[in-house]
């Protein structure tokens, strides 16, 4: 038996480790379990909508990298739809 943390696919309303709230999620092309997430990131005062690649770390926290920041939700949705 291993101590691996098994995590379900993130869903709308979940919070990332950085405090961003997930608005939408889809699977990533990566071989490891990862997702593309569209988030509302309150910490960013100028560009609050962000798309990231996300994954669960060993502690079960949802981490994010490779963010694309947008000031309008419509721009973020187009970006989210284009990412795989």
How distant, in Å, are the alpha carbons of 11, 26, 40, 48, 82 from that of 33?
14, 11, 22, 26, 19
Q: What is the pLDDT of residues 61-78, one digit of tens each?
A: 999 999 999 999 999 999
- List the chain domain ranges: 21-82
Residue 5 confidence (pLDDT)? 52
Q: What is the pLDDT of residues 8-28, one digit of tens each?
A: 899 999 999 999 999 999 998
Cβ atoms of 33 and 23 closer than 8 Å: no
Cα torsion angle, 42, 47, 49, 52, sign = negative
């Amino acid at each position: 038996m291993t101590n691996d943390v098994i995590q379900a696919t993130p869903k709308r309303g979940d919070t990332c480790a950085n405090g961003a709230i997930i608005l939408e999620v889809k699977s990533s092309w990566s071989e490891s379990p990862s997702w593309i997430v569209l988030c509302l990131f309150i910490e960013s005062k100028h560009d609050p909508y962000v798309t990231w690649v996300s994954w669960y770390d060993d502690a079960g926290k949802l981490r994010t990298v490779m963010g694309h920041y947008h000031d309008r939700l419509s721009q973020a949705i187009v970006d989210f739809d284009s990412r795989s």
